[in-house]
Amino acid sequence: MEPNVLVLDYVDVAAGDETLKNTFIYPAQQFAFQKNGLDRNPWDSAVQFKDEFIKKEFPAGSGFKATYRFTIEGAVPASLFAVVERPDLYRITVNGQPLSTAEGSWWLDRSFGKLDIRPATKGGENVLELVASPFTIYHEIEAVYILGDFGVKPAEAGFAIVPDAGLGLGQWNEQIHPLYGAGVAYAESFDLPEPKGTYRVSLPSWYGSVSKVQVNGSLAGYIEVPPWELDVTRWIRPGKNTVEVVVIGTLKNTLGPHHGNPPLGTAWPASFHKAPAAGPPPGSGYHTVGYGLFEPFTLRNAVSQHNAP
C-alpha cells in the first residue's frame, strides 16, 4: 500500500580534522557535537538552564559532513526518494548533484523532508552527503530513509536495493520487505448467487497490529482481537463479491530498534544506542518482525465456507 523502505543507519562523518568511517548514527551524533564544542548531544541527555543550548551560536568554520552510502543492484527503480530529517539545515547532494525537497513533500512527519533522488542515482554504489555549515544546535545526525518501488535484499553489510518481486502469503521480512511496516492488501472474489445468512471474514493465520476489511469497495471494519473475525453480512450482494484484507504492521520494522536483539515491546532510548561498532552488520542481523498474512482468509456463513485459493 506504500513504498518499500531502506534504512541507512551507518554513516561516515567528518568534522574538524577527524573522520569516523561506517559509524552507527548514535556515536556519530555524539562525535559531531563534541567536535563542535559540546560535551555530548544535548538532545540525548542534557538539561538546559533557561535557553542556554537553544540560543547557542557556533563559529563560521563549524559544522560537519555526513556521508551515507547505498547500493542498487540492476536498474534504478522507477520511483526513488530519500527522507532526511530537517533537510532545510543542510546542503544535500547525491553523487555530487545538489538536491532539495519540494515544498510540502514529507514522510511520516512534516520535518522529515522527501527528496526525489532518482535523477541523480545509478546502478552500483550511491553516495548521499549532508553538509552542515555552520553548525547549529539542531544539527543532530539521524538515519536517512530510502523509499521507492524496489526490494530490499540482506547483504553482508546492511542491505542492497534490488528489483521488486511483489508479495505473496507469508512474512514480509522474508520477501525482500524486511523494513516495511505499513499495509499490504490481499484481495479475493467470491461468487454468491443467492447470499443467505450471516457472512464473516476470518483470518486463520496472520500477524500485524490490525487488519482492515473492505467488501465491494466499502469499509466493513477492522479485525484486531480474537477470534480474528468480522461480520460483513450487510455488504454482501448477489453475484461477485470482492473482499480485501489490508494487514498493517508497525513502525518497529522501519524505525527500530534494529540492533542488539531487542525484545518486542522494548523501545526505550537506550534501545536505539546499541549497534555493532565495526560497520553495518549483515542485513539478516537487523531485528525485524514477520508481519503478513500466512494463510488465505475465508468468507464463512452458516451453510458453507468459501476459501480463497
Give per-residue pLDDT as tens, 79-102: 999 999 999 999 999 999 999 888
Question: Is there a domain that residue 126 lies in?
Answer: yes
Q: Which residue type is seen at 91?
A: R
The DSSP 8-state label assigned to residue 122 in this structure reads: -
Distances 104 to 99, 111, 112, 115 between C-alpha atoms, Å: 15, 10, 10, 11
Sign (positive/negative) of CA torsion 249, 250, 255, 258? negative
User: Quick one: 32 and 132 in the same domain?
Assistant: yes
Distances 188 to 99, 154, 169, 234, 287 between C-alpha atoms, Å: 42, 31, 13, 18, 32
- Domain boundary, last residue among 101, 135, 162: 162
- Domain boundary, last residue among 128, 162, 196: 162
Q: Answer whether 126's CB lies under 8 Å from 94's CB.
A: yes
User: Quick one: 119 and 95 in the same domain?
Assistant: yes
Question: Is there a domain that residue 94 lies in?
Answer: yes
Phi, psi of 41 (to 5 degrees): -70, 110
Question: Is there a domain that residue 63 lies in?
Answer: yes
User: Quick one: 135 and 181 in the same domain?
Assistant: no
Report CA 111 to chain centroid distance, whole Å.
16
User: Quick one: 119 and 222 in the same domain?
Assistant: no
Q: What is the pLDDT of residue 8?
A: 98
Give the CA count within 13 Å in the CB-facing half-sphere of 235: 20
Question: Is there a domain that residue 59 lies in?
Answer: yes
Structural domains of the chain, count: 2
Summarised one tens digit per residue, pLDDT across range 248-257 is 999 999 999 9
User: Quick one: 70 and 151 in the same domain?
Assistant: yes
Distances 164 to 57, 173, 175, 241, 243 between C-alpha atoms, Å: 46, 13, 9, 29, 25
CB neighbourhood size of 228 (10 A): 15
CATH of the domain at 9: 2.60.120
**Start-end of H helices in the chain:** 25-35, 42-45, 252-255
Summarised one tens digit per residue, pLDDT across range 196-225 is 999 999 999 999 999 999 999 999 999 999
What the block records as the C-alpha cell of 69 is: 552510502
Question: Is there a domain that residue 157 lies in?
Answer: yes
Which contacts of 272-276 are long-range, i.e. CB under 8 A and separated by 24 or more positions?
272/26, 273/26, 275/9, 275/10, 275/24, 275/26, 276/24
Question: Is there a domain that residue 262 lies in?
Answer: no
Q: What is the pLDDT of residue 306?
A: 56
The DSSP 8-state label assigned to residue 76 in this structure reads: P
Report CA 43 to chain centroid distance, whole Å.
23
Q: What is the pLDDT of residue 297?
A: 97
Give 294's contacts (C-beta < 8 A, 6+ positions apart). Answer: 169, 170, 171, 205, 206, 207
CATH of the domain at 303: 2.60.120.260
What is the extent of the structural domain holding 39?
A: 4-162
User: Quick one: 206 and 295 in the same domain?
Assistant: yes
| pLDDT over 90, % of the chain | 86
What angle is formed at CA 208 by the lines to CA 259 and CA 185, rounded to 5 degrees?
120
Report CA 197 to chain centroid distance, whole Å.
42
Give 77's contacts (C-beta < 8 A, 6+ positions apart). Answer: 118, 148, 149, 150, 161, 163, 164
Summarised one tens digit per residue, pLDDT across range 48-69 is 899 888 899 999 999 999 999 9
- Domain boundary, last residue among 106, 127, 162: 162
User: Quick one: 33 and 105 in the same domain?
Assistant: yes
User: Quick one: 124 and 8 in the same domain?
Assistant: yes
Least confident of 42-46, 197-201, 208-212, 241-245: 42-46
Question: Is there a domain that residue 156 lies in?
Answer: yes
Distance CA 200, CA 300 (A): 5
User: Quick one: 152 and 18 in the same domain?
Assistant: yes
pLDDT surpassing 90 at residue 44: no
Q: Which residue type is seen at 206?
A: W
User: Quick one: 92 and 135 in the same domain?
Assistant: yes
Q: Answer whether 178's CB lies under 8 Å from 284's CB.
A: no
User: Quick one: 25 and 157 in the same domain?
Assistant: yes
Question: Is there a domain that residue 206 lies in?
Answer: yes
User: Quick one: 142 and 206 in the same domain?
Assistant: no
Q: What is the pLDDT of residue 157?
A: 96
pLDDT surpassing 80 at residue 309: no
CA-based Rg of the chain, rounded to a whole angstrom?
23
Distance CA 173, CA 184 (A): 12
